[in-house]
Every structure is written in C-alpha cells, then in structure tokens.
Structure 1
C-alpha cells in the first residue's frame, strides 16, 4: 500500500528533528518544517507570500519573520547540514566542488546586487553571485555552503551595508577565492572528501592553490592554456655573469612555456570517465608532470621578471568532440593513472546540476527580501530541502551511497514529483512505478 500524505509529512518531520533541536523556540520549530515543505511542495514561485498562501494563509507574518527578521543563529543548522551531507555522500572518494552561481535581480536595494558577471547568463547583468560548496559522491550532490559575494560598490558604502544587515565580518572586500577558502575552513571538519575541484576562475589563482595545499588538501582545478610551467628536470642555478649588484637568488636554467606548449608531443588518449544516458562519456586527454611557475618573482638575465618553479604537479589537457580544448592542473600523486585524473576533473559538472535543481525545483533564486540574513536563511532552507530529497533519492535507489555509473533512478526531480503527488492530492494519473519505489516495494533498475 502506498504511503498516505500524512505519513510523508511525518517522515519530513522526523528527518528535520535534528535541525529543529537547533532552533529551540517553538514558533521557529513550527515555521522551519512549514518553510521546507513549501519549497518542496507545489507552485512555481517559492517566495514567502505564495508559499504561505498555499500552505498556511494565516501564518504569513510568522513565516516572513522566521526567514527575514527573526533573531536566531543559522550556524547550528549549517553544522547539522554538514552532518547529514556527510552521512549521505561523505567519504574518501567524495569530492568538494567550489563554484559560484548567480541570481538575476532587479533594483539596487537587495544585498550585494549590482551589474556584474552572471555565470548563469554568461554575461554582465544585475545579479547576486553566490560562492557555493557542494559535497558529491558518485552522481549524488549535496550543496553545503552558499556565501554571497559583495562587490566593491557595496563594500565601499558602509551605510548601504548596514541597511542590508551585512555582518561586520563580511563588510570588507573579499575575492571569490577568499570567500571559498573561508567556507572550506568552516566545513572541513564536518565532512569527508578526497579532493577539491574548481574551475579556472578559482584554479588560475596561485594563492588559492597554495592555500589548498597548505591545508593538506588534494585538488584538481581548471587553468588557462597560457599558464607558464617548467619541465620537472628544471635546475636552479646561481648566475655568474657580471652585474652591477651581486645576485641574491637562484634562477632556473631554462625558460617556462605555456601549458598548451608543454603538451605538444604528448600522446593523447581516448578516456571514458563515466557512463551517460546515451552511453559512455569520452574525450581525448593528455597529461604531463611539470613544475608550475607560481613561485617568487625574480629577474632572469635579460628576459625580464619570471615566476620561479613551484611544486611538481600534473597538467592535463582535454580535447572535446566540438574541437574545444580545456586545461587543468592537479596535485594528485605522481602515480595516478590518466583515467583517474580525467575522472577527477570531469566530476566538477555535478555542482552545475545541483545549482540548476536548487533553482528549478526548490526556488533558490526566488527570495524577494533584501537583507543578508534573509537571503542566506532562504538558501539554507533550500539546501536542507535538497538534502532531504537526495536522501529519498538514495533510499529509492536501494543503497545509501553510490560510487560510479549513471545517476540512481528515479532522478531527484522525479522523486520530488512523486513526493508532491503524496503531499498534496492524488493527480488524475498516478505514477505507480515511482510510488512503489518510494514505498520501498520495488527496487530501481540499477546498473551492475
């Protein structure tokens, strides 16, 4: 027999219990499940007013106060989210993906909104960019941290910052890489993962890569094809040429070249890193061990100022069927096979899926308030709702964790739709297959 709607509400309430224990006040303990249910529930708009109208018309003021104006600390709920995310997908073969996603926004009063590059749109637009951290294992992501990037025209205006309720510790100008590192420091003790992944927007920053290494983390990040590198056999010499002043530093005995040039002559291999809906996903890859030119700057004879050789790392090139080429850099061990390198850098795509689902399924970008606290609380509630749906997805898949292969079936949006069918009312046509999956009476058809 398929679960009745009341049982589903009870299941959500049970899943939220550790979060509610962090809220204390009984009004907050009642509003939190209501807000999460509103995000998961029916309706295209997931801002406070339409959610309250659908679920609890008499509770609009309390729901708005809970998310926008209430005095409560989100940190305990963020910590509990890390616990649940680690339980769902944490492990040594999990990855932590650093990325950002933008939310188009009209006006200029909402916190952090300004004309700036919107990654979602691929152009400059009025938007709010969020730096995100997503924990993923196999094909299952759980977003664990969003933090608003504050542009310079905000950080230079104390009155504007105060009006939007930006905490004092976030009022100084910080790059997206600096925000990402601060969030890594916050989550690193709460979740288990084996490698940090990021695109070239973060990976091209030498201080960002150095900071990851200083924290003892393995990483695989995007980079520019023009990134200068040295061969691993570069030797540091002390020049003996006559000069006005004696030299104080050793310099390399050869000049660096671009990563693109360094891979010339290296054999490219066709690698399949995972299965897709239409068969194995493949590209051509080539890799080589190098020393990245990200050390101190010194003058090298008459060649100007050059970066000195840094640590030995991998550079990886990717040739796509479209003709596009991408380049990556990683401090993974020297003995890892090419397929492992390829699988690591290609695992980053999962965060883009998470961003899309958080927006399309749960209304991450639907918040209509203007304050820092309201925006981040709304984002936190969407992440909690997303983690709940992923827990149902994994349960429906018949196993707690998945390492490789196509995504467990049914997909997360299908799980949400099946939940909607139970939460609200039976639709004219019911999906018996999904309902049986959710009821635990039918195992999904997973690849062996």
Structure 2
C-alpha cells in the first residue's frame, strides 16, 4: 500500500473511532476505545489486553495495560449502543453493491482449560467438533451478497451457571440474565432486530436452530421469513396431505394417529427422479458450485395438530449424486412463487457466518480475551465487532474484479508502525 493510501486508511480509521466515541460516554473512555480498537486492527498473533497495551503504548505498557483492562473489564458503557453505532456506520458499505439479503443465526465456541471463566461448561464445542470445556456465544449477523456483520452477540449461560448464585456474583452476571436456550436467545435477537427496523433479510440457520419449532413459529409471528436447516427425522405431511380432525383420539404416544405423517428423509427418498434438479450457486470468491436438489410443499406435524399452525412451506433437500442418501434438509417460509435457484442460493448464503467467525477470530482476536467476567467478555466481543466493522467497510472501498463476491479479509489496514495520537497520555 502507498504512503498516501496508508494515510487515507488512518484518517478513515480515526473518523470511524470518533463516531464510536459519540456513544461511549466519559471522554477518558474515548482514548481507551481508540487504543483498544487500534490494537485489534494492528498485526499481531495475540490480542488479549496485555499485548494490545504493548502495541499501542510500548513506552508505558504497564500503565496502558491497567487502563485498557479497566476499560474492557469494568467500565459501564453500553454494548448495545456501540453495536448500534457500528451498524449505522457500516451498513452503507454492506449495501453498496446490493441490499441486505439475510439475517444469519449461529453460535461460536471458545475452548477453555479452567472452570472459572463466565459460562464455561462441558458442552459441544464447534471449534473442536466434540464435547469439551468451552464458552459458547449466540449471534445474529446481517448479510448482503458482498459482506456481513454481526449485529447482536450474547454468551449462552448454561443452566448450572444460571442457578449458581455464588458463581453469578463472582462473574458479575446481571440479575436480569436468566437461563435461556440458544434458540430462545436467537429469537430474542431476531425480535430486537425487528424492533430496531434493520433492513429485512431472510433468516438463515443450521439444523441446531432450525429443528426448534418454537423458534420457527416465533419468526413467523414476527413476519420474518426463514430458510432453516432441519434434521431428517422431523415429521411432516407431504404434498396434498395435512392434519385431520381435532376430535380424533390420541394414541399412547401422545400423538393422534396420522398415517400420512412421514419423516423428511422418508419423503425425500420417495420422490420421483423427475423432482431432482442440478442447481448452481456461488459461494464466496469461488467458482460456481453445483449439486442436486428437490423441493416440495409440505406441512410440518405437531403434537397438537392445529391446522392454522401447519401452514404450507418449502422442504428443500440436497442429494449429491455421489452420496447414497440425501445430505441436507431445509424448511422455508419463502413464497410459493420463489424460483428454485433463488431458494437454493439463499439456503447456501449461510456460509457467510462461517467467514465472519473465522475472520473475527483470526484478524481481530475475538477468542483472545482472558478475563473471567460477564461484562469483559461482552465488551471485548463488542470491540472486536467494531474493529471488524471497520475492516468490512474498508473492503468495500476495493474495486471489484470479476464476479462481485466477498474476498477474504484483511482489507487495507493501518500500517505496522501506526500508533494512536496521544497514546502516551492515556491513563
């Protein structure tokens, strides 16, 4: 990058942090905010507080360490206000080459060795692909065709933590935080996005969330369309079938006998060959990808079998020719008139959240926070999302070459020797 480009990047970064400073509160915090965000976007393998202090004020590392530690772990500034400001400033860059198309629900995990960090528990760790000691956070991201940004982020608090008063007090968990499942947290995030009037997108989620009927129903009540991954054992009525009369007696399993109810897998295996089509879509900067899909209109079964809650929706199935059976299933409340290609394209857009988490962890140190408290965990994540937002906006300044798909970060960033002006004065 040229000297002029470096200078321009510094100026844009300064203006960006100034915008964030407007919602951070006390003037002293503005300097700490600038230094912390600077440390996150500067090169470096480790981005916990001490290395950030060494990068941003090497002449006064110990004092800077204490200053940043207080700012991220103890200072009472609002994560919600900062994230809202990030959205406001980054949204124009996300929409530069096309509208917001998706709201993506997912979670990410952070392996931990000890047992004292807030929310740490032996649970499924996606990063390791197995049960392990870790923290898990649920997020909601908004995505256009060329970029994405997390807009809500909350630690999942296991029930054992939620009920342990001593651990709650030590970790500084607010009294209003109660136990909620991950799908319940996700629905809260969807609800807040609606209340904030964010540009609407189709909600995308994997089967860990899509299998939750209450989450799907909650989104429908909010008029949020979805393409939700599901497990193949979910029961449904195929085309032309549906729930029967409510006065039919239940059997000994608690479900009324419904001979037409079948699993998604059974329905998929019974589809005629003519229903399967090869569909192309584009993912990231790669060439077009192809696979074999089928889609049918179905109604999902429920124990109560209330007809008005069994509206017709799409069942989308992927069955690559190289596989012995279908590999993926989705339910979608998108209109019956949506094209086959568009339905597949939206289902596959969920890849953006994987890119988000990869870059948040590798580029700005999302998983590097070493504190144990609730406030510090969320403050660090908020600042990482803020730093990531700057990089997303910077990426939007790069002229596209070829098909306009999101290149991986890093985008143009601050030079290695950049230091915040006045950092030696930071207390």
C-alpha change, 1:148 and 1:163, in structure 2 (3 Å) is: same
Residue 297 of structure 1 deviates from its aligned partner by 5.3
SS in 2 for 1:169: coil
* Corresponding position of 1:226: 233
RMSD: 2.7
* Corresponding position of 2:376: 374
C-alpha change, 1:165 and 1:159, in structure 2 (3 Å) is: same
Instruction: State the distance in 2 between where 1:408 and 1:173 align.
Output: 37
Instruction: State the distance in 1 between where 2:338 and 2:257 align.
Output: 27
Residue deviations 1:261-319 (CA, integer Å, cap 9, x gap) = 22222421110011665531111110000111136159xxxxxxxx9971111001012
* Corresponding position of 1:315: 315
Q: What is the 5 A alignment of 1:345-384? A: 345-384=347-386
- C-alpha contact 1:358 1:386 (8 A) present in aligned 2: yes
| Alignment partner of 1:185 out of 161, 186, 191 | 191
Q: What is the 5 A alignment of 1:389-428? A: 389-397=391-399, 405=403, 407-409=405-407, 411-413=408-410, 415=411, 418-420=412-414, 422-424=415-417
Query: How many residues of Structure 1 are paired with residues of Structure 2 in the alignment?
Result: 401
* Corresponding position of 2:215: 208
* Corresponding position: 1:175 with 2:173: no
| Alignment partner of 2:162 out of 132, 149, 155 | 155
* Corresponding position: 1:39 with 2:34: no
C-alpha change, 1:288 and 1:93, in structure 2 (3 Å) is: farther
Answer with 265-274 or 250-259: which moved more.
Answer: 250-259
Residue 196 of structure 1 deviates from its aligned partner by 0.4
* Corresponding position: 1:268 with 2:273: no
* Corresponding position of 2:335: 333
Instruction: State the distance in 2 between where 1:4 and 1:253 align.
Output: 67
| Alignment partner of 1:97 out of 104, 109, 120 | 104
* Corresponding position: 1:165 with 2:172: yes
* Corresponding position of 2:79: 74
- C-alpha contact 1:46 1:362 (8 A) present in aligned 2: yes
TM-score (norm 2): 0.87
| Alignment partner of 2:141 out of 115, 119, 134 | 134
Instruction: State the distance in 2 between where 1:251 and 1:115 align.
Output: 38
Instruction: State the distance in 2 between where 1:235 and 1:3 align.
Output: 66
C-alpha change, 1:327 and 1:275, in structure 2 (3 Å) is: closer
Instruction: State the distance in 1 between where 2:182 and 2:142 align.
Output: 18
Residue 253 of structure 1 deviates from its aligned partner by 6.7
SS in 2 for 1:412: coil
Answer with 228-237 or 37-46: which moved more.
Answer: 228-237
- C-alpha contact 1:275 1:405 (8 A) present in aligned 2: no
Unaligned runs of 5+ in 1: 299-306, 426-448
Residue 121 of structure 1 deviates from its aligned partner by 1.1
Q: Which has the higher contact order (CA 8 A, sep 6+)?
A: 2
C-alpha change, 1:40 and 1:209, in structure 2 (3 Å) is: same
Instruction: State the distance in 1 between where 2:161 and 2:76 align.
Output: 24
C-alpha change, 1:73 and 1:320, in structure 2 (3 Å) is: same
